[in-house]
Amino acid sequence: MTVTNEPSFRKSVDLMFNRAVALMDLPPGLDEKIRVCNATYTVRFGVRLRGQIQTFVGYRSVHSEHMEPVKGGIRYATNVRQDEVEALAALMTYKCALVEVPFGGSKGGLCIDPRAYDDHELELITRRFAYELAKRDLINPSQNVPAPDMGTGEREMAWIADQYARMNTTDINARACVTGKPLNAGGIAGRVEATGRGVQCALQEFFRHPRDLAAANLSGTLDGKRVIVQGLGNVGYHAARFLSNEDGCLITGIIERDGALFNADGLDVDAVRSWLFQHGGVRGYPDARHVAEGAKVLEQECDILVPAALEGAIKLSNADRIQAPLIIEAANGPVTAGADDILRAKGTVIIPDMYANAGGVTVSYFEWVKNLSHIRFGRMQRRQEESRHKLLIDELERLSADPGVNWNLSLNFKEQYLRGAGELEIVNSGLDDTMRVAYQSMREVWHARDDINDLRTAAYLVAINKVAASYRAKGL
Ligand code: NAD
């Protein structure tokens, strides 16, 4: 079915879901049960600020409880609406199923411009929002576990965790009520950058499959590939930084709220990020051309386009002008259902959001497990692993000391081999494994059937099958 009018975000997700379901053989009615959002709670609360009571509107939506706790970020933005929160909650269900993270899907949002309030005011607002959700078990280690999203980060998660702990003084697992916390408040190494790191893992895995590369008219490795990123926030910044520093990509364009920067020779991602923090925007940055109408840079020629800011960035009105042969959806819902139709017809390969940005929820899962086990990953085995490696190195060095032997261990190898894995290495290994396995499950479906010609439909198929299997196991 071709989409001619731009649907809402929620409808866009439903259209993509329906496209996949049409290719499946689910028991009658199960597709509807999986598709609908179980419940959305709307809260309106007042906070006394600047001498008057200000009323805020927030949401927490639970899409599917086929597994509990349900999981999903809390977003602070002025355009937060029920429709958007429900769409994002649905995506969380499919995302968790696809990457085999044992959670149902949820999402929350507060209609607020966080830049309009100072730290103390934001803390008051966040604590009150957390109180309203926690008293209804919409924040709870075993039922509903939020995380950061657009406009929120470690600081807000620490306030939420503390608020929950104050309300549940005897809950030994209180810290597991929210993820994305700072390390000193029960967080985990690697969570801040996890979504961007996951985007990098996804691209690395894509580039391991020549057939998939050929589908996007690309070849070779990530080295030297031209990348345009929209949004230099948590996800966009880390993805761009890892791709340029570790894989040799050229970040030729960065699009922000106040326009875009373009430099065909590649931008210094850290320098742009510092400029953005200092000046509140990218305008005036010296080593690039500034384009006032930032969204136009989405249409520039490049190898990989990384929309990492907001939903609906690529839509009916600009999809046919997008030149990138490969789009990786670092943000949630950056390509509308209508644009998706146009891009598929053009042969653009899209690595879909439910997979591409799943690094965040994957490492959130590790953080939740860490909180429940009350011990840092690697604490028990790291030194034991090192001493076993030392045994082997000592033995090899003893053998190489023999005058008849003509080899030596390189210093670099020795240092790397002797170092046992700390929490960050373990987290990154788990993240990479998760992203690789999930990609392979998608591409298998993509290539196995003639009636599936895109990764998004394949991703939905894998995810819906897993959710359906959970429901069947429950006897539904
Ligand atoms: P963020 O608030 O840290 O960053 C968003 C960035 O986008 C900011 O730099 C902002 O200035 C920029 N931006 C806003 N409007 C823009 C516009 N119109 N044009 C260009 N730039 C604009 O948010 P984030 O956490 O990086 O989230 C970005 C996206 O990734 C969202 O869709 C979110 O749902 C998704 N996501 C985030 C996580 C996570 O762990 N943070 C996990 C999964 C998915």
Q: pLDDT tens for residues 128-147?
A: 999 999 999 999 999 999 99
Q: Is 364 in the pocket of ligand 1 (CB under 6 A)?
A: no
Q: Which domain holds residue 154?
A: 38-185
Residue 387: the pLDDT is 97
Q: Give the integer Cα–Cα distance in Å for 280 and 258.
A: 9
Q: Is 152 in the pocket of ligand 1 (CB under 6 A)?
A: no
404 within some domain: no
* DSSP letter assigned to residue 389: H
460 within some domain: yes
396 within some domain: no
User: Residue 326 maps to which CATH number?
Assistant: 3.40.50.720
**C-alpha 133 to ligand 1 mean position (Å):** 23
> Do 20 and 111 reside in the same domain of the chain?
no
Q: Give the integer Cα–Cα distance in Å for 227 and 254.
A: 9
> Do 32 and 43 reside in the same domain of the chain?
no
Question: Does the pLDDT at position 180 exceed 90?
Answer: yes
CB atoms within 10 A of CB 317: 12
**C-alpha 64 to ligand 1 mean position (Å):** 24
> Do 160 and 268 reside in the same domain of the chain?
no
Residue 332 Cα: closest atom of ligand 1: 32
> Do 214 and 158 reside in the same domain of the chain?
no
Percent of the chain with pLDDT over 70: 99
Q: Is 149 in the pocket of ligand 1 (CB under 6 A)?
A: yes
- Model-level pTM? 0.96
Confidence of residue 3 (pLDDT cuts 50, 70, 90): low
Among the listed residues 11, 33, 71, 107, the single catalytic one is 107
> Do 13 and 62 reside in the same domain of the chain?
no
Percent of the chain with pLDDT over 90: 96
User: Residue 144 maps to which CATH number?
Assistant: 3.40.50.10860
> Do 169 and 67 reside in the same domain of the chain?
yes
Please say which residue of 144, 161, 185 terminates a domain.
185
The residue with tokens 């001493």 is 387
CB atoms within 10 A of CB 6: 16
**C-alpha 333 to ligand 1 mean position (Å):** 11
Q: Is 257 in the pocket of ligand 1 (CB under 6 A)?
A: yes
User: Considering the chain, what is the average pLDDT of its residues?
Assistant: 96
Q: Please compute the mean of the pLDDT values over residues 288-297 and round it to a whole number.
A: 97
113 within some domain: yes
Pocket mutation for ligand 1, best pick of 85, 232, 310 (most atoms within 8 Å of C-beta): 310
Give nearest CA residue, ligand 1 atom 41.
Answer: 149
> Do 113 and 200 reside in the same domain of the chain?
no
Per the model's pLDDT, the better-predicted residue between 3 and 185 turns out to be 185
Please say which residue of 143, 158, 185 terminates a domain.
185
**C-alpha 84 to ligand 1 mean position (Å):** 14
260 within some domain: yes
Query: Three-class SS of residue 1?
Result: coil
**C-alpha 407 to ligand 1 mean position (Å):** 52
In the residue annotation, 107 being an active-site residue is answered as yes
Torsion over CA: 127, 130, 135, 141 (sign): negative
Q: Is 231 in the pocket of ligand 1 (CB under 6 A)?
A: yes
Provide the number of structural domains found in the chain: 2
Residue 100: the pLDDT is 98
Give nearest CA residue, ligand 1 atom 23.
Answer: 150
Asked if 308 and 233 count as a contact pair (C-beta separation under 8 A), the reply is: yes
> Do 328 and 316 reside in the same domain of the chain?
yes
Pocket mutation for ligand 1, best pick of 93, 152, 193, 195 (most atoms within 8 Å of C-beta): 195
**C-alpha 381 to ligand 1 mean position (Å):** 37
> Do 210 and 304 reside in the same domain of the chain?
yes
Residue 309: the pLDDT is 97
Q: Give the integer Cα–Cα distance in Å for 157 and 420.
A: 30
Confidence of residue 406 (pLDDT cuts 50, 70, 90): confident
Confidence of residue 1 (pLDDT cuts 50, 70, 90): low
> Do 59 and 32 reside in the same domain of the chain?
no
394 within some domain: no
DSSP letters of 242-308?
HHHHHH--EEEEEEETTEEEE-TT---HHHHHHHHHHHSSSTT-TTSEEESSGGGGGGS--SEEEE-
Asked if 433 and 366 count as a contact pair (C-beta separation under 8 A), the reply is: no
> Do 158 and 262 reside in the same domain of the chain?
no
**C-alpha 371 to ligand 1 mean position (Å):** 26
Query: Three-class SS of residue 379?
Result: coil
386 within some domain: no
Please say which residue of 161, 185, 209 terminates a domain.
185
Q: Is 309 in the pocket of ligand 1 (CB under 6 A)?
A: yes
Question: Does the pLDDT at position 2 exceed 80?
Answer: no
Q: Is 428 in the pocket of ligand 1 (CB under 6 A)?
A: no
Q: Which helix (H) or strand (E) holds 132?
A: helix 119-134
Residue 276 Cα: closest atom of ligand 1: 9
Confidence of residue 195 (pLDDT cuts 50, 70, 90): very high
399 within some domain: no
Q: Please compute the mean of the pLDDT values over residues 375-388 and round it to a whole number.
A: 96
> Do 97 and 123 reside in the same domain of the chain?
yes
Span 448-471, pLDDT tens digits: 999 999 999 999 999 999 999 999
Q: Is 239 in the pocket of ligand 1 (CB under 6 A)?
A: no
Query: Three-class SS of residue 24?
Result: coil
Confidence of residue 38 (pLDDT cuts 50, 70, 90): very high
